[in-house]
Amino acid sequence: MPELPEVETIRLGLSKRIVGKKITGIDVDNQKSFVGKKDDVIGPSITDVQRRAKVICIKLSNDLNLLFHLKLTGQLIYREVSSMPEGKNKELSGDSFAGGHPSHDWHMNLPNSNTRITFTFNDKSSLFFNDMRKFGWCKVLINDEVSAIYKKDYGFEPLDKEFTVEYLLGKAKRIQNRNIKQFIMDQTIAAGMGNIYTDESLFEARISPLRKVKDISLSEWKTLIESMCKILELGIKYGGTTDSDYVNVDGKKGGMQEHLKVYHKTGEPCADGCGGVVKRITIGGRGTHYCPICQK
């Protein structure tokens, strides 16, 4: 379930740990998860870790890029030691960083049954790409291909300066009848928005997810943009959202779930104090949570 704030958290954590390291090996356990030639990424060092929408881009010194999309269940886990010593106690002995879909076996042996790709670095540390449902991918691409994907598949980022009312009105022109929730979740419109942060942003703006794009007033557009930025920045600040039942063992538990007001709050009283009860409906096949009273 990684969305923009989760992916940004992963980017930051990875950036601190792997920039400057040289890739010395790669193991691919699921062919579909890796698109490219393995030999192309063995040898170069990592120069940067970037993010665009929900995509992570690891830049290499040979001008190639490792692009990752975690989709629903992808994880990127960094380990200083490539294998755990045998025994019952599986406590970590080195620096470790995990990010992505939460699961209870993050702290277990790596690689595990969900590990699709393993990268090894010159200092023997490793980066594991785990993905239970195999929706995610890692692609080896040249710079031009990366730019082309960024341009074609994604609109402006909500936190960009260019993400203005005028920009959104331009995007809205041809799809006046679409509801605001699907509009906001369109990656070619608001890059990186996912289900959780869309529901939360609409609540923050007190706009109903069912409203049509054509009925949104200028001041509401403005409020919506401000709300999206506020919610996304909050998400980044708290290190993303982690499932409530998930207990992280290596220090990178997200805290945003404690600040959600409608997402997965079905049946609870509205945080606004308006007297409403959070309702769950389906819009465009996605679970949608909102307050029918104060979200107009």
Partner DNA sequence: CTATCTGTTCTGAC
Partner DNA sequence: TGTCAGAACAGATA
Listed in sequence order, the residues at least 6 apart from 122 whose beta carbon sits closer than 8 Å to its beta carbon are 21, 22, 23, 24
Rounded CA separation 228/218 (Å): 16
Closest to DNA by CB, 71 vs 222, is 71
Stretch that binds DNA, among 59-67, 88-96, 188-196, 250-258 (CB under 7 A): 188-196
| Token pair for 289 | 């949570």
Stretch that binds DNA, among 60-68, 89-97, 230-238, 284-292 (CB under 7 A): 284-292
Strand bridging mode 286-290 / 74-79: unpaired
Q: Is there a catalytic annotation at residue 214?
A: no
Binding mask 73-102 vs DNA (x if CB under 7 A, - otherwise)? x-----------------------------
HEC-encoded secondary structure of 239-258: CCCCCCCCCCCCCCCCCHHH
Which of 37, 57, 36, 61 shows the shortest CA–CA distance to 47? 61
Single-letter amino acid, residue 292: P
Smallest separation, CB 267 to DNA (Å): 13
Query: To 10 degrees, the CA torsion angle through 163, 169, 174, 178?
Result: 80
Among 135, 150, 167, 246, binds DNA (CB under 7 A): 135
Q: In this structure, how many other beta carbons lie within 10 angstroms of the beta carbon of residue 67? A: 22
Pick out residues in 196-255 that bind DNA (CB under 7 A).
Answer: 196
Closest to DNA by CB, 23 vs 283, is 283
CA 171 to chain centroid, in Å, comes to 23
Which of 117, 118, 158 shows the shortest CA–CA distance to 34? 117
Q: Is 175 in the site for DNA (CB under 7 A)?
A: yes
Q: Is there a catalytic annotation at residue 54?
A: yes
Q: Is 151 in the site for DNA (CB under 7 A)?
A: no
Smallest separation, CB 92 to DNA (Å): 23
Q: Is there a catalytic annotation at residue 200?
A: no
Q: Is 52 in the site for DNA (CB under 7 A)?
A: no
Q: Give me the catalytic one of 52, 54, 79, 206.
A: 54
Q: What values do phi and psi take at 146, rounded to 5?
A: -65, -45
Q: Is there a catalytic annotation at residue 2?
A: yes
Binding mask 27-46 vs DNA (x if CB under 7 A, - otherwise)? -----x--------------
Rounded CA separation 164/149 (Å): 22
Stretch that binds DNA, among 20-28, 126-134, 162-170, 224-232 (CB under 7 A): 126-134
Task: Supply the residues annotated as catalytic.
Answer: 2-3, 54, 286
Positions that interact with DNA (CB under 7 A): 1, 3, 32, 53-54, 69, 71-73, 113, 132-135, 153, 174-175, 177-178, 187, 194-196, 264, 282, 284-287
